[in-house]
Amino acid sequence: MCGIFAYTGQNGKDAAKVLLDGLVSLEYRGYDSAGIFTPESGVIKTPGAVAELRKRVPKKYSGKSGIAHLRWATHGEPTKVNAHPHGSGAIWLVHNGIIENFKELKKKLVTKGHAFVSDSDTEILAHLIEEHLKRERSFEKATLKALKEVRGTYGVAIQYKGEPEKLIAARMGSPIVLGIGKGEHFIASDPSPILKHTKKVLFLNDGEVAVLTPKSHTVYKLSKEIVHRMPEELDWSAEEAQKGGYEHFMLKEIMEAPEVVVNTLRGRLIPEKGMAKLGGLEAVAKELANIERIIIVACGTAYYAGLIGEYMLEEFAGIPVEVELGSEFRYRSPVLNQRTAVIAISQSGETLDTLEAVREGKRKGALTLGIVNAVGSTIARETDAGVYNHAGPEIGVASTKAFVSQLIALALFTIFLGRQREMSVKTGREIAKELKALPKKLEKVLAGRKEFEKFAKKYKNARDFLFIGRKYNNPVAFEGALKLKEISYIHAEGYGAGEMKHGPIAMIDKDFPTFAIATKDSVYEKNVSNIHELKARKGPVIVLATEGDKEIAKLADDVVYVPKTLEMLSPILNVVPLQLFAYYFAKGKGLNPDRPRNLAKSVTVE
Ligand code: F6R
């Protein structure tokens, strides 16, 4: 995600102070490294967040204008050298997003004599603008030329030492908002650092570029055509601005699911060949072709993602998979060898039990891999290779968007390993095609979110809740129950629908509702039978069904519809309604879903 903040003014304010104060309200967007640049005092960067940066900024550091950044790493470790701002000659910039064609651009620039100091994709853009500046002799023209060559996403703020009062902002896929003050202008990735200076803001659209001086602001399209759009007045608090206008981070993060799918997939599918290109696995591709067994280790939500991964990998890659809780794996005596791959799944990359499971795997000679969201985290560093989720920081304690990205990463793993083995091009293509279709389908699911507010009200007095599902959606039932219990503190259980008769159905009566996942798949009929059994015991049932399934509505007390997709990918659509249900249920009880009692975001103790 990353946080960007830039300032230019003529009111005698010290840009360094404005920027450092503003960065604090962006800290939720990234906190692995930070940096600041003013044309007068130069650049200062550090690993860590704003407090670290403040310690390094000397008292005499100042400026009338400047740019600043908080990083959430995507390419390159969270080190000082990879922190933003990045510069080349007189050009300095801060960036949020991913420049996809950075390798080919870098190659070209190297032949022109450019030397790079970091692994960051961002540094390429600074060099590219500088290269164009040699010929164009105009900061604006050089920037436009460079932006047209770039593929990928960006929200950027750029500064040129030759015109220190001027800032350029541009947006393609990553948010940028301008603050319009009196004798001063701001650029930020959300309005939170701007609001204490001015309520007047202008949101850039994709493909727009803005040129700001203390007195003027002009917005262009990349085609140079001028955009006439009036600023709007925002009456948000800084906290509302951080949440993008949503009431809680949890809801904002659930709503980010379509974008997260795009980001986790970006550059990793070759749909026409039915292949997945996972740069992080290239170095171990040979070992992976020879592994005979996979053990997935994880905790909590990540463990449930692992259970779904087991189904995917066994069905489509034909590799035997076991899924283990990190907390169990480390204390028993697992039998592993060099033909075993241990895959750790972790949002934070710091969960101690998962980390210790990785270490146990290493000790026993297994190949260790990570599916991790936090770049440069301990699990990412200690595994032999891996795939980053690129879901952006997850602030809500209950994991939502990270789970979606973990499933996407597991689907990519499945294509990668499957195509090394028996998976046909046709199957690879089918999965790739459906993966690409998911963001639109997720948008549809999310558009119906108000329904869940109604259900939460209707079932608000329930003291217990059961979640059932089969096959790929059995772990989704576990995850639905976990979400509900962790933020609303009521008893919720996830069960395999087929297990009901072996005990749990004894609990069912008119006061014990069930959320049944019964989308159209290979176990649909079986699920319908289980719903009949619940209804025969007068248990209220909410059914999660596939669009168009009118029959199931006759059986259920309430129905939630989701679009059709491949069975192996159905958990990605099916989990979102369960996340929304838990969210609105907790909210309806007057609880804060972002701050569940007794829980920490990252569990770094046993
Ligand atoms: C539940 C939740 C936890 C985490 C678990 C693992 O909503 O957030 O169950 O999934 O603590 O955390 P990571 O993925 O950071 O290893």
Q: What is the mean pLDDT of the chain?
A: 94
Where do we find the tokens 């509702």? 513
Based on the fold, state whether residues 297 and 416 are members of the same structural domain.
yes
Task: Determine the pLDDT at residue 121.
Answer: 87
Q: Which of 347, 383, 601 to mutate to test the pocket of ligand 1 (most atoms within 8 A of CB)?
A: 347
If pLDDT is split at 50, 70 and 90, which confidence band does 198 have? very high
Based on the fold, state whether residues 280 and 426 are members of the same structural domain.
yes
The two tokens of residue 286 are 């040979």
Closest CA to 195 of 208, 177, 173, 211: 177
- Mean pLDDT value of segment 279-298: 96
- Identify whether 595 is part of a domain: no
Count CA within 13 A, CB hemisphere, residue 88: 22
378 lines ligand 1 (CB under 6 A): no
Question: Taking a C-beta distance cutoff of 8 angstroms, is the pair 533, 555 a contact?
Answer: no
If pLDDT is split at 50, 70 and 90, which confidence band does 269 have? very high
Handedness of CA 59, 60, 64, 66 (dihedral sign): negative
Query: 108 is in which domain, residue-wise?
Result: 3-242
The residue whose CA has the least distance to atom 3 of ligand 1 is: 300
Based on the fold, state whether residues 455 and 549 are members of the same structural domain.
yes
Atom of ligand 1 nearest to the CA of 397: 8
Per DSSP bridges, beta strands 367-372 and 42-47 are unpaired
At 47 the three-state DSSP class reads strand
Closest CA to 49 of 15, 86, 23: 23
**Which of 445, 462, 495 is the endpoint of a domain?**
445
If pLDDT is split at 50, 70 and 90, which confidence band does 234 have? confident
* CA–centroid distance, residue 561 to ligand 1 (Å): 27
Q: Which of 301, 598, 601 to mutate to test the pocket of ligand 1 (most atoms within 8 A of CB)?
A: 301
285: Cβ–Cβ under 8 A, 6 or more apart, which residues? 420
Based on the fold, state whether residues 94 and 168 are members of the same structural domain.
yes
Residues of the chain with pLDDT > 90: what percent? Answer: 82
- Identify whether 35 is part of a domain: yes
Atom of ligand 1 nearest to the CA of 348: 15
Q: CA 316, CA 318: separation in Å to the nearest integer?
A: 6
227 lines ligand 1 (CB under 6 A): no
Q: CA 507, CA 275: separation in Å to the nearest integer?
A: 47
Q: CA 487, CA 475: separation in Å to the nearest integer?
A: 19
Based on the fold, state whether residues 420 and 458 are members of the same structural domain.
no
* CA–centroid distance, residue 476 to ligand 1 (Å): 15
Return the active site residues. Answer: 2, 601
Residues of the chain with pLDDT > 70: what percent? Answer: 99
- Mean pLDDT value of segment 296-302: 98
| Interval 140-153: pLDDT, tens | 999 999 999 999 88
- Identify whether 457 is part of a domain: yes
Q: CA 561, CA 403: separation in Å to the nearest integer?
A: 21
| Interval 367-384: pLDDT, tens | 999 999 988 788 998 999
DSSP annotation of 520 reads: S
486 lines ligand 1 (CB under 6 A): yes
- Identify whether 319 is part of a domain: yes
Based on the fold, state whether residues 441 and 467 are members of the same structural domain.
no
Question: Taking a C-beta distance cutoff of 8 angstroms, is the pair 35, 120 a contact?
Answer: no
**Which of 410, 445, 480 is the endpoint of a domain?**
445
The residue whose CA has the least distance to atom 5 of ligand 1 is: 300
Closest CA to 260 of 459, 393, 99, 433: 393
* CA–centroid distance, residue 303 to ligand 1 (Å): 8
Based on the fold, state whether residues 424 and 542 are members of the same structural domain.
no
If pLDDT is split at 50, 70 and 90, which confidence band does 19 have? very high
- Which one is predicted more confidently, 424 or 75? 424
Based on the fold, state whether residues 413 and 306 are members of the same structural domain.
yes
Task: Determine the pLDDT at residue 237.
Answer: 78
Q: Which of 249, 297, 325, 348 to mutate to test the pocket of ligand 1 (most atoms within 8 A of CB)?
A: 348
Atom of ligand 1 nearest to the CA of 483: 7
Q: CA 560, CA 293: separation in Å to the nearest integer?
A: 38
- Report which secondary-structure segment, H or E, holds 497: none
Q: Which of 324, 325, 351, 401 to mutate to test the pocket of ligand 1 (most atoms within 8 A of CB)?
A: 351
* CA–centroid distance, residue 400 to ligand 1 (Å): 10
pTM for the model stands at 0.84
347 lines ligand 1 (CB under 6 A): yes
* CA–centroid distance, residue 348 to ligand 1 (Å): 8
Based on the fold, state whether residues 331 and 347 are members of the same structural domain.
yes
To the nearest 10 degrees (0 to 180), the angle between helices 474-488 and 300-312 is: 170
- Mean pLDDT value of segment 288-311: 97
Closest CA to 303 of 337, 269, 354, 227: 354
Catalogue the E-assigned strands of 347-390: 367-372, 385-388
Based on the fold, state whether residues 372 and 462 are members of the same structural domain.
no
CATH number of the domain residue 123 falls in? 3.60.20.10
* CA–centroid distance, residue 185 to ligand 1 (Å): 40
Q: CA 105, CA 154: separation in Å to the nearest integer?
A: 15
Task: Determine the pLDDT at residue 550.
Answer: 95
- Identify whether 439 is part of a domain: yes
Closest CA to 267 of 430, 119, 99, 405: 99
Length of the chain: 606
| Domains in the chain, number | 3
Task: Determine the pLDDT at residue 576.
Answer: 98
- Identify whether 594 is part of a domain: no
Based on the fold, state whether residues 258 and 155 are members of the same structural domain.
no
| Interval 517-536: pLDDT, tens | 999 999 999 999 999 999 99
Task: Determine the pLDDT at residue 606.
Answer: 66
Beta bridge partners of 343: 296, 369
**Which of 194, 216, 242 is the endpoint of a domain?**
242
351 lines ligand 1 (CB under 6 A): yes
Task: Determine the pLDDT at residue 30.
Answer: 75
CATH number of the domain residue 543 falls in? 3.40.50.10490
Based on the fold, state whether residues 332 and 315 are members of the same structural domain.
yes
Task: Determine the pLDDT at residue 427.
Answer: 98
Task: Determine the pLDDT at residue 244.
Answer: 84
- Identify whether 63 is part of a domain: yes
- Identify whether 474 is part of a domain: yes
Task: Determine the pLDDT at residue 27.
Answer: 85
301 lines ligand 1 (CB under 6 A): yes
* CA–centroid distance, residue 474 to ligand 1 (Å): 18
Beta bridge partners of 208: 171, 221
| Interval 73-121: pLDDT, tens | 777 788 898 899 999 999 999 999 889 899 999 999 999 999 999 888 8
